Structures are given as C-alpha cells and as structure tokens.
C-alpha cells in the first residue's frame, strides 16, 4: 500500500482523532471535485478529522486530481492504486485504517447538498449509525423496492434510501460489522439486525449536475450480491446456534430418507416387491446418509460454541455506571467482544 501524502492531523494528536472520512474512488474521474465540495463543511465542524481516500488501478485521472488536492488539504490522505477487490474492498481497508471515533462514509460523487452533512452529526447523538434519506432519490422504483424487500426478508430491517452511500457511524460498530464482510449497501441493515441503533436523517439531494455512474445490469454481480445476502443471513441468524441451522436442513432429509427406506423394505419383505433392479433404495439410503452428515456437522459446530461459550461473548458492555452516594460516574469499557 502506498500513501501519497501522510500528514499529521490538524491540531490534535492521533489518540484524540474524532472523525475519519472514508471515500472509495474507482469510477469517477472528477472525484477530487466532488470531495472538495464537502471541505468547507468538514472544516467548520470543529472536529479533528482525517480523510482516507482509497483509489483503485482504474482511477488514474481521479488520482491526479486527488494528488493535487493533498497539497493544500493536510487532512487528506490518498491511497494509491491497489487492487482492492472493488469498492467494498476499498471501504473495508479504509475502515480498518480509520482512527476517528466517528466514521463518515462519502461516495466519489456528490449525493447530497454539502451543508446537509451537519444533519448527520446532529442526529448521531444517542445513535450508533445515521443513514441518509434523500428527498429526491435519483434511483428508485423496482430496484429500490426489490432491495428493500430483500433486506426486510433477510435481516428484518430496511432503510428508505437503500442506494445512498453517505452514512455516519461510530467506529466500534464498523469494527464488529467488518467481521461479516463489508458490502456497501448491507451495512445499515446488518448494524440494525445486530441491535445497533440506526436512524435516518432526511436530507436534500445534491442539486448540481452529477455524472453518477449509470446502472449496468451485471447478472453475475447481482447473483454474488444475492449469495452474500444469504450467507450473511445464515451467519447473523445462526452464528451461535449452528445445530438449529444444520438440523433444520438435515433432519427433514434424514426423516424422508428413513421413511422411504422403511417403505421400500416393507414392500420387499412383505409384498414381494423386487428391489435389486431399482435405484430407489440407493436414493433413500443416500438421503439418510446425507441427513446424518449434515446434522453431525451442525452438532460439531454447536459443541464448539458450547465449549467456548464463556470465551465467546455475545454482548459488549459500553460503560459501567457507578455511584458514590452523591453522583454517578460512567466508566467506559474498551475491551472487545
């Protein structure tokens, strides 16, 4: 990884960093202009901040613009041309490097009016993540509805503006969600389904001309997204209860196989129905074998969880509140799950 411009952060030490702004640049050659539109707002926030801008090998033109921008914007750090496995990979890497207590994700083209960013910072109080709902969503209709239905089906939560990439969240939320793999549009619903407080902020969409990338139908890409959603659903729902997942698949297969085998044997023994020249018995026994194997795998998973249950914490204590008879003090807890 090569950082073109790593600067000390304005004013504060690294430990006191309050905000990390993360931008993944891959398709917009004018990304520098887009990012620049937010500078006035970011400078006016009265927070120490850093901007981590990840670029991929295709973003040659954007990289040139961003490199110029770093000259007079010390908070901006550009990471050059590493193949990150797409936008999701870029974001995952940036989230790992982020040092701020809060992480603001911005897209490479302006999605909302810059001054609307302030609304996100107002809304984060008491919340873990703030997502945007633009008043004039450029992408909607069938795709939006389909995504919302899928999210609700798999994760039990959805957001009004699925395709908006602007979001503000606490870094420790991303640290946990990062473990499930970062898929851009899934982040808010994963956070909500993990019990984090996710709220929406109504914002005005960017009013200027935007050359946002056009939607391209990629069957394999959409198939991968669906596969990711199913995988995430299984992981989120059955991470601590593998036997329930494997059992719900293996037990029906086993039972069908067992009943079928019993019927075949009954026919052979009492009704003189020949079996030797029919593959039915192989099929039914195969179902028994498959069912037992699936259940056994689930059982091993459950045994692992059971045996490690005192080490695997399903909770994170954010603070302990104690009193001395007059006042209460909050003791933040920093140990990880």
Per CB under 8 A, residues contacting another protein are 128, 172, 194-197, 240-241, 243-244, 247, 275-279, 281-282, 285-286, 288-289, 292-293, 296-297, 299-300, 302-310, 312-328
The smaller minimum CB distance to another protein, of residues 65 and 301, is found at 301
Q: How far is CA 149 from CA 31, 215, 234, in A?
A: 32, 20, 17
Q: Which is nearer to another protein, 6 or 300 (CB)?
A: 300
Rg from Cα positions in the chain: 26
Rounded least distance, CB 292 to another protein, Å: 6
Q: For another protein, which is the closer residue by CB, 65 or 247?
A: 247
At closest approach, how far in Å is the CB of 275 from another protein?
Answer: 6
Min. distance of Cβ 192 from another protein in angstroms? 10
Helix, strand or coil for residue 80?
coil
Rounded least distance, CB 306 to another protein, Å: 6
Q: Is the dihedral of CA 185, 190, 191, 193 positive or negative?
A: positive
Closest approach of Cβ 327 to another protein, in Å? 5
CB closer to another protein, 30 vs 171? 171
Q: Sheet holding 76-79: strands in order across? A: 76-79, 49-55, 19-25, 102-106, 167-170, 129-134, 198-203
For the CB of residue 258, give the shortest distance to another protein in the complex, in Å.
Answer: 11
The answer to whether the beta carbons of residues 19 and 102 sit under 8 Å apart is: yes
Q: Which is nearer to another protein, 219 or 323 (CB)?
A: 323
How far is residue 172's CA from residue 330's CA, in Å, rounded to a whole number?
18
Distance CA 2, CA 240 (A): 39
Alpha carbon distances (Å) from 44 to 51, 123, 132, 257, 303: 15, 17, 20, 68, 54
Cβ distance to another protein smaller for residue 60 or 318: 318
Nearest to another protein of 99, 194 (CB atom): 194
| Cβ within 8 Å of residue 199, ≥6 positions away | 123, 127, 129, 130, 131
Closest approach of another protein to the CB of residue 88, in Å: 23
Widest pairwise Cα distance in the chain: 90
């Amino acid at each position: 990884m090569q950082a073109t411009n790593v600067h000390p952060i304005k004013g504060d030490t690294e430990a006191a960093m309050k905000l990390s702004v993360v931008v993944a640049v891959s398709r917009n050659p004018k990304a520098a202009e887009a990012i620049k539109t937010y500078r006035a707002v970011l400078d006016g926030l009265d927070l120490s901040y850093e901007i981590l801008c990840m670029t991929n090998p295709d973003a040659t033109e954007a990289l040139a613009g961003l490199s110029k921008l770093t000259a007079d914007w010390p908070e901006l750090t550009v990471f050059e041309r590493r193949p990150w496995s797409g936008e999701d990979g870029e974001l995952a890497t940036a989230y790992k490097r982020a040092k701020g207590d809060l992480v603001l994700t911005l897209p490479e083209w302006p999605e909302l009016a810059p001054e609307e960013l302030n609304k996100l910072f107002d809304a984060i109080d008491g919340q873990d993540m703030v997502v945007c709902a633009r008043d004039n969503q450029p992408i909607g209709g069938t795709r939006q509805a389909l995504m919302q239905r899928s999210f609700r089906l798999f994760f039990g939560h959805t957001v009004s503006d699925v395709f908006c990439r602007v979001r503000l969240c606490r870094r420790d939320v991303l640290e946990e969600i990062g473990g499930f793999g970062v898929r851009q549009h899934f982040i808010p619903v994963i956070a909500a389904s993990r019990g984090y407080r996710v709220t929406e902020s109504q914002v005005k969409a960017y009013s200027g001309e935007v050359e946002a990338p056009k939607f391209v139908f990629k069957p394999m890409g959409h198939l991968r997204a669906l596969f990711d959603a199913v995988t995430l659903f299984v992981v989120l729902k059955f991470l601590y209860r593998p036997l329930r997942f494997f059992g719900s698949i293996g037990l029906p297969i086993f039972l069908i196989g067992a009943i079928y085998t019993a019927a075949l044997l009954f026919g052979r023994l009492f009704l003189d129905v020949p079996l030797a020249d029919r593959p039915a018995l192989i099929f039914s026994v195969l179902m028994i074998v498959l069912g037992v194997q699936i259940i056994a795998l689930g059982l091993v998973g459950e045994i692992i969880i059971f045996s490690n249950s005192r080490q695997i914490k399903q909770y994170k204590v954010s603070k302990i509140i104690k009193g001395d008879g007059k006042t209460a003090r909050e003791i933040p807890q920093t140990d990880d799950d």
